[in-house]
Structure 1
Amino acid sequence: MNVPDIRIRQLNQAPLKGDGAYVLYWMIANRRTRYNYSLQRAVELSQALNKPLLVFEALRCGYEWASDRLHQFVLQGMAANQKSLKDSAATYYCYVEPEAGHGSGLLKALATNACAVITDDFPCFFIPRMLEQVAPRLPVSLEAIDSNGLLPMRAASQVFPTAYSFRRYLHKKLPAHLLERPQTNPLARIKLPPLKQIPTKILERWPQATEKTLQATPETLAEFPIDHQVGPSVFQGGMDAAKSRLKQFLDKRFDRYLDERNLPEEDVTSGFSPYLHFGHISAHEIFDQIINCEHWTIEKVLDQKATGKRAGWWNMSETAEAFLDQLITWRELGYNMCWQRADYDQYESLPDWAQKTLEEHARDPRDPCYTREEFENAETHDELWNAAQTQLVTEGRLHNYMRMVWGKKILHWSVSPQEALQTMIYLNNKYAVDGRNPNSYSGIFWCLGRYDRAWGPERPIFGKIRYMCSKNTARKFSVSGYLERYCRESRQGQLFD
C-alpha cells in the first residue's frame, strides 16, 4: 500500500532527478525503522527509480536545551537504528556534530547527489522553521511525510477547542484513516541496488559516528558542548527499549491502568511519551498491539454514532478505551493545535475566557511567590510539589497526575500567569525527555485553561481556571510513598498547600 497523499507535503519546487545516485531519507523526527510512513515513502521512490536508499540521521549540538539527557536518549536511538539497518537494503549514515555549526552544509552536500530528499513532518520545536529554511536551498525535490499519529494532521482544517469536540470529529473521520496503515517493516523482503559508497569528500569532512559515540557513555557525552548539569534519564532510548516498554506495559500494567493510572505511588502509566516524541515508536504500532489484545476489528466502529464520549465508541474494554483516549484523542489534539497555529507556545493562544479571567486576577496578592530558580531547585514550602519537581529533574519524567498539580501550583505561586507559563515551559523543556512536544505543550497550557472550561467557585489568582492543589491530591490518593521516594526532607504536618 502506498503512502496516502494526505500525509505527503511537497516543500519546494525543485525537480526529482532520475539520474541521481540515491534516494535520501533525512530522518529527523520518526527515528525508527518500523511503522514509519517516511521510510516507506523513501522505499517507494527507490523502487520506482531503481536507486539505492541512503538513510541519513544526524544529531546537532546547538539545539535549544541540548543536554546529556537528551543527547544520550537520541544517541541510543541511533545505535538501535544502525543495528536495525545493518543487513537491510538501505545504507545508514549517522552523523553526530562535535561542535555547533560543524554539520552546516552536510544536508545540501548529500542532496546534491540525490534523486530526491524525503524527511519527517513534525509541527513543533525547531523542526518547522528548519524545514522552511532548508527547502528552497536544496537542488532536488523535498517531501515531508506525516507519520505522527493515526489521524493525518492535514485531515482536519480547524483547531478544536476541547477534547470533546475533537473526539466527535475523530468518531466521524478516523475509521477511514484506520484502513490506511503504515507497513510494519518497510524494508522487509525489499531488494534495492546497493550504494557503493558515500562520497569520500563528505565522509572526510563529516565522519560517520563511531560505535564509541553511539554508546553515549558519560565520558563520551562530556566531550560535547552541551549542558552537562542535566544528567541522563533513568530510562534508555531507542526502538528496542520502546518495544520492551510496550511489552512490559501490556503484560504487567495494562490490567491495572484504568484504576491506578492517577496514583502517584504506582508506576502503571505507559511511559511511552518520550519514545513517541523522539519517534522511537509509532502510535500505529501501539494501537496495533492494543487491538490485538482486544481481538478488535474495524467493523466494530464503522456504523458507530459520533457521540464525543470518552467510553463506548470503540467497543473495547473500559481499560483499552481509557488508554486510547490518551493515545489518540489527547495526544493528537496537541498536534492539531501545533500544526495549525504557529503561536501554540504563546500566552495569547489561550482561550479568550481564560485570558480574561487571569487578567481580572492578575493583581491578586501572591503569597508565597517564587522565582524560577526556586522552582527549579524544588525550594518551595510544599513538599509534594518539591517531590514532583525532584522527580522531573532527577529522572527526566513526571507522573501524569502530578504534572497537572505541578503546573497549577506554578500558576499559584508566580508573579503573573505569563511568567508562570514561561517557567513551566522552561522546566519541562529542560528536564523532561518528552518535552518540546505538542502533547507536552497541551499539558502545560491545560493548566492555564486550554481545552478546559470555566470553573466555579471563582478563586483568587486562578479566577475561573480549574483549581488543583497538593492537599486535595493527598486526600484523593496515598502519596506517602511518593514523598518518601522523591523528597529530600519530609516535614510531616507541613507538607501541603
Structure 2
Amino acid sequence: MASLKPKNASGAVLLSKLTKDVFIKNISEARAAEGDIEHFCFNKSRLRVVSKTDDLKKNSKGIIYLMSRDCRVEDNWAVLYSQKLALQNKLPLHICVLTKEFNCLYPTKRHLHFALEGFKEIQKECEVKKIGFHFLKANVKDFVKIVEDNQIGAVVLDFDPLKKPVEWRNYLKDNLDKNVALIEVDAHNIVPAWLASEKQEVMAKTIRPKITKQLPEYLTGFPEVCKHNYQGKLDTDKKLKNVDDVYDFYKPLYDVEIVKWAKPGAEGAYNTLLSFMQERLQYYGISSNDPSKNHTSNLSPWIRFGHIAAQRVALEVKSVEKNCKEQVDKYLEELIVRRELAENYCFYNSNYDNINGAAEWARKTLLDHKSDKRVYTYTRDQFEKALTHDEMWNAATLQLVQEGKIHGYMRMYWCKKILEWTKTPEEAIEIGLWLNDTFSLDGTCPNGFVGVMWSICCVHDQGWGEREIFGKIRFMVDYSLKRKFNMEAYCARFGRSIGKTSAKKGVKRKAK
C-alpha cells in the first residue's frame, strides 16, 4: 500500500489555511471578472435547439428556464443563457419547477428533503436577483398550457440523458407551439455530452483524449447572474406559495430517513468542497481508496442534485494544483473523464439499466454462466436488511442505509457480490440499481447506473480469467480487501455497534 504521507506536504499546509470567507470571496471575484452577462460571449455549442426555430415569436412576454437537473442559480449555463436571451429581448425571466414529475427524480423522502432544501436557497437567490421562481403543481402536459397562456417565447431545458427527462423533452418538442423556441443546455458536463464524443465510448482511455483536447475551450469561468431588469407575472393557478407545500400532495415512493451529515444546497456544497481542499485533497489517490478512511471528496450528492457545478469544483481544485499536482490530476480524472464517460454511456445507450446495455461478449459470458450453482442466494429484502453471511458486505449496506452513500471502492465489491449471490445477472442488476437508487443520495444518475453496470456487466472494462457465475467479468474477493485495508475498523463503524439496529429498519413501502 502507498505511503500515507503526501508528496506535497507543504502545499497541503497552505491549503489548510484557506478560510471560508476567502474561498467564497475568490469565487465571487472570479465571476465578476468574467464581465456582464448581457455582453458575455456565451459559447452556443453548449446548447442544442430542439425545436424547428430558435427565434422568439413576436409579442413574446417572457422566457422560461425549466429547472430539473442543475438546481442552482450561479455557475449554471442554462440560467446564464436564459437570462442573456431575456435581457437581449427585454423580457422577464421565469425559473419553473414541475413538482408532479418528482417520482423519477426524488423517489424517497431522503432525496426529496435534499432537493427541497436546495430549492429554498434558489428561491431566496431569485428574489434578490429579481428573477421569477415558480414551484408548480404541474406535469409536462400542464406546462404546455402555462407556456401558451403566458405567451412565452422560449423554453430552456436542462440536458439529462436519462429516459424520463428525454421523454419530457420529446413531449415538449411535439406539443409546444411551433413558434416557441425549445433549447437544451448542458450545464451538467464541462464538455457538452454531444461534443465530448459522437458515439458510445468503450472505456476511459478512448474518451480521455477527446475530452482533454476540448478542455481549453470549455473549462472556463462563469460570469455572475445579474439582477434582472425586466419584471412580469406568470399567470397560472398551479403555483405553490411555498416550497414546503409540495409535502401536502407529493408522497415519495419510499420512506427513507434523511441524512444529517450532508447539508443540502449550494452553501453545503461549498462547505464540503472547501473541507475537501483543506483536509482530504492531499490524500487523493494515496489513501482515497481505503474504506476505513474519509479521504474522498464527498461531493457526489451535491453534483447529482445540481447544487454545485462539476465545472466549479474543477476550477477550484485546479487552482491549487501547484500545491499538490499529483492529487489534483487524479481527482480531475475522476471528476471529469470518468464522470463524463458515464454521461456518454447513458446518452448513447438506452439500455443503460439492463443486461442488453452490456457489450456482446459480456452479455454472452453472463448468460453462459447463468445456470451455475450459487453457494449463497439472497432475496432483495435480505440484501436491503444486510442479512448476508459477509460482514464487510453488510457493513457497506449499512453505510448506504445510514449515510446515503457507500465508499467508492466498497461499492464495487458490494455490487459484484450481488451478482454472485442472486439467481441471475438480470436479477442482480435490478436489485443493485434498486438499492443504489433508493438509499444513495447520488442514485438515479448516470454515475449510479454505470457503477452497477461496470460491476455486473463489465461496462467500460475488459474480459478477465473465466470462473463460475462471473464468466469473464472482473471478480473481487474478501481476503483481498482485508489484505489491503483495515476492514476491521470499517466493519466496526457500520456493521457491529449500530448495524443490527439499523439493518432491521429497511424502508416503509408507500401505501397503495
With normalisation by structure 2, the TM-score equals 0.83
Question: What residue in structure 2 maps to residue 159 of structure 1?
Answer: 200
Question: What residue in structure 1 maps to residue 265 of structure 2?
Answer: 238
User: Equivalences for 1:444-455 in 2 at 5 Å?
Assistant: 444-447=452-455, 448-455=457-464
Q: Which runs of 5+ in 1 are unaligned?
A: 215-220, 297-315, 492-497
Paired letter, 2:234:
I
Kindly state the Cα deviation for residue 117 of structure 1 after the two structures are TM-superposed: 1.0
User: Equivalences for 1:30-429 in 2 at 5 Å?
Assistant: 30-60=70-100, 63-64=103-104, 66-95=107-136, 97=137, 105-113=142-150, 114-139=152-177, 140-155=180-195, 156-178=197-219, 181=220, 183-185=222-224, 187-188=225-226, 190-195=227-232, 197-199=233-235, 202=236, 205-210=237-242, 212-213=244-245, 221=247, 224-234=250-260, 235-294=262-321, 317-429=325-437
Runs of 4+ in 1 over 6 A off after TM superposition: none
Paired letter, 2:293:
E
Paired letter, 2:49:
Q
Kindly state the Cα deviation for residue 238 of structure 1 after the two structures are TM-superposed: 1.1
Structure 2: how far apart are the matches of 1:336 and 1:454? 21
Paired letter, 2:71:
R
Number of equivalent positions: 452
Structure 1: how far apart are the matches of 2:65 and 2:101? 21
TM-aligned CA distance change 1:206 to 1:222, over 3 Å: closer
TM-aligned CA distance change 1:103 to 1:364, over 3 Å: closer
Q: Which runs of 5+ in 2 are unaligned?
A: 1-39, 500-512
Paired letter, 2:73:
T
Question: What residue in structure 2 maps to residue 305 of structure 1?
Answer: none
Contact 2:201 2:345 survives alignment (8 Å): yes
Question: What residue in structure 1 maps to residue 48 of structure 2?
Answer: 9
TM-aligned CA distance change 1:152 to 1:408, over 3 Å: same
Per-residue Cα deviation, 1:52-97 (whole angstroms, up to 9, x for no partner): 11111233365146221111011011011112222114222223x4
Question: What residue in structure 2 maps to residue 436 of structure 1?
Answer: 444
Kindly state the Cα deviation for residue 467 of structure 1 after the two structures are TM-superposed: 0.8
Per-residue Cα deviation, 1:154-210 (whole angstroms, up to 9, x for no partner): 1111211011111132233433333xx36242x23x552122x332xx1xx223342
Paired letter, 1:73:
F
Aligned-CA RMSD value? 2.3
Per-residue Cα deviation, 1:118-164 (whole angstroms, up to 9, x for no partner): 11111125211111112222222111111121111111112110111
Question: What residue in structure 2 maps to residue 304 of structure 1?
Answer: none
Contact 2:163 2:350 survives alignment (8 Å): no
Structure 2: how far apart are the matches of 1:48 and 1:467? 57
Sequence identity percentage: 29
Deviates more, 1:22-31 or 1:167-176: 167-176
Contact 1:125 1:436 survives alignment (8 Å): no
Kindly state the Cα deviation for residue 371 of structure 1 after the two structures are TM-superposed: 1.3
Paired letter, 1:90:
I
Kindly state the Cα deviation for residue 212 of structure 1 after the two structures are TM-superposed: 4.8
